[in-house]
Structure formats: structure tokens, C-alpha cells
Structure 1
Amino acid sequence: MSFKIAIIGAGSVGFTKKLFTDILCVPEFRDVEFALTDLSERNLQMIKSILDRVVEFNKLPTKVTATTDRRAALEGARYIISCVRVGGLEAYADDIRIPLKYGIDQCVGDTICAGGILYGQRNIPVILDFCKDILEVAEPGAKFLNYANPMAMNTWAAIEYGKVDTVGLCHGVQHGADQIAEVLGAKSRTELDYICSGINHQTWFIDLRLNGRKIGKDELVAAFEAHPVYSQQEKLRIDVLKRFGVYSTESNGHLSEYLPWYRKRPDEITRWIDMSDWIHGETGGYLRYSTETRNWFETEFPQFLESAARPIDPAKRSNEHASHILEALETNRVYRGHFNVKNNGVVTNLPQDAIIESPGFVDRFGINMAAGITLPEACAATCTSSINVQRMSVHAAISGDIDLLKLAVLHDPLVGAVSTPEEVWQMVDEMVVAQARWLPQYADAVPAAKERLSKSRIKTREWAGAARRDVRSIEELRAEKTALKQAV
């Protein structure tokens, strides 16, 4: 088979390499062309060097190109994969820093909450540019696979306004299933069957079967509380499991910022999180991790290049959905996964226009969702609160309506638990002014926002958060990796 795959934001080096090697685990895809595109010429050349080394070592006919000209990369592409982070780490730092001034302590800030909503405002205009190019120069009927957060907002915009065949992809369901299989003592995840549904980062394991035996709430709670690691790292998730009756896919840190109950006061934050790794609730944890990862890659690039000279091993193919979807569409080997698509009746008690994440099957005829799923009422209520925020956020990003943007932030569960309306209005003004270069739709609103900020009397504070850690140096990272190797 010979077709073209374009990867936008290919400078996301580790993830791009994973997707690339996954796809090449499919024997029929040896002759595929990969067109990489990114704003950074330097990052492009680094990742192209790594992928070229993979191709050369494995003696493959695969073609890899790299260009900062996005339309050239998209021309004739059958599949387009997006891994973009609009504004990079500079804008992301403001997504964490500015809300902290108003008492809003986020672990990740890339889905909803103040940071995730502003992230969506930066992404959506760019996503629509992608869609325009796809419709104009890609292969007719090309499929857009969006991996970029905020997943639901980006996918919503691409489907509703970009008019492109789009599916959003995430790995939260797979990671949650791995945990459940482990605590239940399964020899492999293949022994665990499940139905998981909801919205991205708020999906729920509503039916669990271990070797065909149904697993109830009490057994699952007992298994997690008995686990020596997860009982400490996932305290908040376990508490939600006890109260809701079902386990959430999302990490302790992520889940904590989608709900109004666990991060509203500093003493509550430290009670529910775990500092053994960023993902368990650390303030600005993912920003720190992303910064360290970028610094590590740039410093240790020769090691990454050397490690690329290894055989592609299909047994080590990851559980990221992209390669499996392409394989099913092209070969008709059926694949079951969990996909982000417009609801349209799939989940009976969520809004029809929402982007839901739910089970589906892929074959040559496309992605076929399993319809008629009903969530437990508490899960539906929590998801609906986030969907309302997502809807307003998407509409604000399309229209450039700063008042609607403020209402979206005001209705966010965690923001509403922490901040007053006056504080929200000022915070959004401050974030829009700080990120104006990435928010073209708000250009006309920026001067008035600056004027309001100059007259504001609302007090803020410079605060690192309840559980902040400093970015580690390369030397510290090396020492930690050496210690881990010696421990093994």
C-alpha cells in the first residue's frame, strides 16, 4: 500500500517517533510516505534525522519528508495527524501562572479549567486553518486524527466548523484499564473486558469483566486500597470511585482539576494528591515535566539518534489508537477502541452536540460507534458541566466574543469553586492580554482589556501553588536516571 500521512506539530519528537514506528509495525505500510511539518525548522530536522535512522536501520522503502510549509505537507495526504501545542511552553506557562494569582491551582490545565479554556482559544483558529488546507489540498475524504488538547474543544471545532472528517484520540482509557487489570491480579490486560464512556478525560468504566466475571464497586475499591502504590498515588480517584461507584480513566492530577471539590483550598490539595510524580496532582506538574522533557531532548539528542538504530518490533507496538485505526481502514482487520466523536445519540444522557469518548469499531467502512450507552447519573452530571464549558469555549473561540469567553471560564467547575465573578473577569482580561499574539480573534478586545486592567483594584497574589516543584536541571535528571538504573 502506498499513501501519504501528514503529521502536524511533528516537532513533538518522542510522540512522533512512537506514532511512526507503530504505523510501520503494519507490514502493508512499508511504502507509506510520512510528511512532517512544524513551525520549528530545527525541531523538524531533529525528528527527521531520527526517523531516517529508523528507516535506514530497518532497510525500509518508507519516505520521510519535512517542511515548514504546511500546505505542501498536506498535499495529497490521506491521513493527517495533529500533535500541535499552539503557543508552546511560553503560552502554557501563562495558563498556569496567571490563574494561580487568583487562587486557581491546576495540575495540567490543558482540558478545561482556566488554562485549558485559553489553550482552546489559541488552538481553535489554527485547527480551522488546518481544516481549510485539508479540504483544499489533501486527498478527497482525508481523515483528520487529532491528538492535541484540549481534545474535546479541538475536535468539536474541526467537526462543527472545519467540516472535516475528524476523530479525537487519547490514551487515558488504555492507561486506566492497565491499572484495573493490575490491581485485580490479571496476568495481562487481555483478561479484562470493559465498556468505558463519557467525554475525554472524564470517561468512566461503567462495566468491567475479568475473564468474563463481572467486577463490582466493592471489589474494585478493595483492590485499589490494597495496592501498595495506587492506594497512595490515586487517593482522589479512589474517593470518586467510592462515591460515584465507577472508576475514572483519568489520572489523579487531571481528575482533580475537572471537579469543584478537591483543589478549592490549599490544605485540601495536599490532602488528595501525591508528589511521587507530576501526574498525581502536583501544581503545574505537566508544565514542569514538559519543560524538563524538552531540555533533556535538546541536550541528549545524540542518544535519541543512536537509540533509533534498532529493529522495529511489532510485539512492542504501543496502544496508541492511530496505527490501529489506519490498519483497520486500509486492511479491514477490525479494531475496537475508544474514540472522540460527535455524540449524535451514542450516549443517551449527554447532549447530542457534545464530543463524547466511547467504544467503537473500525473497519474498511469507517469508525462505527456502539450506540445506546447510558452513563450513571453522577457521571453524566459531571460530564455535562464540562460539556457546557466546552460549548461556550468553542463558540467564544469562533466568534472572538470575550464576554462569552468570560462566561465559559466562570462556569468552569474548579474556577467557580475558587473565584468570584469579578476575579474571573479580570483574570480573563489578563490572560487575553498576555497571550494576544496567539489570539487573533480577540485583537479588537485587547485594548479595552488593557484599559480595564489599568483601573482594576482587585487584589492578586504571586503564589507558586500548594504543591509546586522547581524544574530540574539536566544534571539532576541524569543523576536520577542513573540511580533508577542502579536500583533495577
Structure 2
Amino acid sequence: MRLTILGGGGFRVPLVYGALLTDRGEGRVTEVVLHDLDAGRLHAVARVLADQASATGDAPRVTATTDLDEALRGADFVFSAIRVGGLEGRADDERVALAEGVLGQETVGAGGIAYGLRTVPVAVDIARRVARLAPDAWVINFTNPAGLVTEAMSRHLGDRVIGICDSPVGLGRRIARVLGADPKQAWIDYVGLNHLGWVRGLRVAGRDELPRLLADPALLGSFEEGKLFGADWLRSLGAIPNEYLHYYYFNREAVHSYQQAERTRGAFLRDQQARFYAEVGNRGTSALELWDRTRAEREATYMAENRESAGAGERDADDLSGGYEKVALALMRAIARDERTTLILNVRNRHTLAALDPDAVIEVPCLVDASGAHPVAVDPLPGHAIGLVCSVKAVEREVLAAAESGSRATAVKAFALHPLVDSVNVARRLVEGYRAVHPGLDYLK
């Protein structure tokens, strides 16, 4: 089986390859094709993968190319993890937004809209090429903003594109661990949009254990989300929010913390990864050891500003292991081998959430088999949550409309309608500010 990874020179690709090395089953991935626009980054990542493969017999063969069509032909699965504009673009997204006093995070608020506006046209082109060159392939999307990009690609690929994210997986794992349950045996009642969802229940042997967690302040304060949001707020919600909802519930504090930081997250990663790619080419350097050290630093500083503003302290060691590569492997296994499983994924709504239309991409538990991912029926969200979901989905639709039409006015509308952008005038300045730093937004007229 052949897996093509778009964004194959990306820093997290070795996580995916490492997961593939653990799969010894029949029908496993035997060939990995890395595609990237940057040949130097491709070479660096290929070195890391070679080190990983050296300790494993019969590892999947790795090839690399800068030719997109060549990479797509013959693919059984296409893993999309591109970053349009690179980390320099992410740093610019943050800087322009923070200068206007609004959030610049890459998937939430102004930064997420800017990232989406320059990513959607590229993602749509990829979807069209997949439909033409590899019509039987399944696309697994991890390109951010994951829900928005998945919806853009679904307009050309239908249900053969599925978005994944490690945030719900990590959240469910933490809750199960605190409750003394095996995450593999727990049913996680989670629903929302990507980076905008809530755990409303965690059932073990048919019993919902979440009320026990919500009733115990000590348990609530013992894991990441409890530290971020505080026990009182979680009890008020009656649910455990995805960590990204901290940007909504504590927006002023988050923006202030980001403004006071020495460097934004994007700037930190830009500088860190520049060092990695420069050093990995040095003779005598173990590419894998250098990657491991760099990844540990990256994970330890994840959402550091939010934790600082909430007084949440350092991340637990168990939360530094990532997880999206395991979701991707489980998804590929389920489809390729009909190994039925349940995963939280980004898929078309169908009739899962009555407040949204069937084509809206949501993040929800899905039953996965050889025919794809099928969203599971869920209880309605409470009013405050469905209001936020509908508001953000409306913004995503304006982003898609702006990307399709090239309308600057529609882009302004997308910014202005977002709950974390508080002014039409700010929205206009954001569009002009982003157009000034991103050549990829020149299409907005």
C-alpha cells in the first residue's frame, strides 16, 4: 500500500513514519512518498526517517519528490499536512492580529482566518488533482485549520477526505486516566467543530463517569483542562471543553499573555525549526537524536501562554507524546483492512447536528470501516455551545466564499463576523495588514 505525504518535509513527518514502523500486519503501508516544495527540507526529513528505519527490518520504502502529480499517482492514501506560507507566515499571522489587539493563533480567530484564506485555494487545487490522478485514494487531512480545509476539499472529494486532530484524543485520554479508566475501553461523547468541541460524557461499561469527575474539585484540578479552565467553570458548563476553547472563554487574558510574550508561538517554532534544518545536515550529527530533542522542546512549550495566564504550570509528561499519527494509522487500518473502530474525526455532518446543514464538516465520534467514516448520532448541544458552533461555522463559510470568489469584501465579512474580532474597522485593517505581508492573498480584490 502506498502512502503519499504532502508537506513531506514537515517537522512532524517522523511521527507518522514511526507509527508505520509499528504496523506489521497484512496490507500495511510498504511505500511512503514524501512531497514538498522545499527539496532541502525533504532531504533533512528523509535522513531522520532513514535513522528510524535502520532499527527496523522491512521498513516502508521512502522516496521524495517536489513534483505533486508524480507524488499523487498510484497513491492509496494521501496524508495532507501542508503549511502555506511556512512558519514565517504563521508568525506574520500572529503579529498582524496582535497589533490590532485580537488573537493571532493559527486556527482560532483572526490568525485562523488569515491562514484559511491563503490555504483553501491550495487545498482545493490538491483535491482536484487527487480526484483526477488518484480517484480511489483516501485523503487524510491534518492541514490547519483542519475543519475548514477538510470542508473545502470535501466539495471535490466528498466523503473520501477525512480530517484528523489529536486534541480530542488527548482530551479523552486525560479524562479517562484521571478517572482510572482505560481510554481504549471508554466511549467519549464529544461533539463540535475542530478546536471547538466539548466532552459531554465518558462512558465505561455503559456508565457515564463524567459526573464523578465534575463533582470532585481535586480530580478536576489534576489534569490540563482542569488547570486551564478552573473547576468552577467546568462545573458550570457541565462538560470539559477542548483546550482551544480557552481562547474564547478567557480571550482577554490570552491576548494579553501573547502580547507580553517575548516571542509568539509561530516565531518560536520558526526559529527552532530553522536551527533544526540547518543542523541536521552537519556531518556526525544523528538526525534522529536531533529531531527527538527538538520535538521534546516543541511539545513542552505547547500553549505555554495560555497555561501561564491560567497559572496552570508545566505540561504533564504524559501529554508530550502527540497522538495524531496514531489516529492516522488507526484510520488507515480501519479503511484498508475493514478493521472497524471508533475515532473522533472531522467529517460531513449529514444529520448529526440538526443546527448545521448536511455538508458542514464537524468533529464527532465516527464508526470507521472499509467504506469510510460514518458520524455517530449525538445529543443536541446546549444553547451556548450551539450558538458558538453556528457562529464559527458561518465564518468558515465566508472564508470559503472569499477564497472561491476572490472578494476582499467577503474576506472582511469573515473577519468581522468572528466572535473574537470586535469591530468591522478592525476587520478591514486586518485584511489590509495580511494582504501586505502575504503574497498568497493577492487574489483578494
TM-score when scaled to structure 1?
0.77
AA matched with 2:62: V
**Aligned residue identity for 2:148:** M
Q: Distance in 2 between matches of 1:262 and 1:283?
A: 20
Work out whether 1:119 is the aligned partner of 2:115: yes
Q: What pairs up with 1:310-325 in 2 under 5 angstroms? A: 318=323, 320-325=326-331
Structure 1 residues 81 and 407: alpha-carbon distance in aligned structure 2, compared to 1, 3 A threshold: same
Aligned partner of 1:141: which letter? D
Of residues 370, 390, 414, the one that matches 2:420 is 414
Whether the 8 Å CA contact 1:4–1:77 is kept in 2: the answer is: yes
Percent identity between matched residues is: 26
2:144 aligned residue (142, 149, 152): 149
3-state SS of the aligned residue for 1:36?
Answer: strand
8 A Cα contact 1:167 1:339, kept in partner: yes
Tell me the SS of whatever aligns to 1:290.
helix
Aligned residue among 188, 193, 203 for 1:194: 188
Tell me the residue number matched to 1:450. none
The CA deviation at 1:229 is 6.0
Counterpart position of 1:23: 20
In structure 2, relative to structure 1, the CA distance for the partners of 1:355 and 1:163 (3 Å cut) is closer
Partner of 2:358: 352
Counterparts of 1:110 and 1:432, CA distance in 2: 16
Mapping 1:316-465, distance limit 5 Å: 318=323, 320-416=326-422, 420-435=423-438, 437-442=439-444, 445=445
User: Which residue of the partner structure matches residue 174 of structure 1?
Assistant: 169
Closer, same or farther: CA 207–225 of 1 in aligned 2, 3 Å = closer
Shift of 1:383: 1.0
Could you say if the C-alpha distance between residues 30 and 141 of structure 1 is closer, same or farther in structure 2, counting changes exceeding 3 Å?
A: closer
Q: CA deviation at 1:263?
A: 2.0
Aligned to 1:287: 266
8 Å Cα contact 2:220/2:226 also seen in 1: no
Structure 1 unaligned segments of length 5 or more: list them.
Answer: 310-315, 446-488
From 1, 4, 7, give the equivalent of 1:6: 4
What SS class does the counterpart of residue 58 from structure 2 fall into?
coil
Does structure 1 residue 262 correspond to structure 2 residue 266?
Answer: no
Matching residue's letter, 2:266: L
The answer to whether residue 200 in structure 2 is matched with residue 206 in structure 1 is: yes
Once the two structures are superposed, what CA deviation does each residue of 1:276-306 show, in whole Å capped at 9, x if it has no partner? xx9xx96975314423541452355333335
How far residue 373 of structure 1 moved from its aligned partner, in angstroms, is 3.8
Q: Find the aligned partners of 1:119 and 1:38 in 2 and give their Cα distance.
A: 18
* Counterpart secondary structure, 2:251: coil
Q: Deviations over 1:192-214 (max 9, x none)?
A: 43211111111211222245432
1:57 corresponds, among 55, 58, 72, to 55
1:98 matched to 2:96? The reply is yes
Distance in 2, matches of 1:35 and 1:155, equals 21
Matched AA of 1:426: R
Number of aligned residue pairs: 411
SS in 2 for 1:57: coil
Q: 1:123 and 1:22 mapped to 2: Cα distance? A: 27
Match of 2:239 in 1: 246
Distance in 1 between the 2:358 and 2:178 partners? 35
Hey, what's the Cα distance between the residues in 2 that align with 1:211 and 1:223?
Answer: 24
Cα deviation, 1:217-243, whole Å, max 9, x if unaligned, reads: 47425346653564874136x554233
| CA distance in structure 2 between the aligned counterparts of 1:284 and 1:131, rounded to whole angstroms | 35
Aligned-partner residue type, residue 181 of structure 1:
A
C-alpha separation in 2, matches of 1:25 and 1:440: 44
1:130 to partner: Cα distance: 0.7
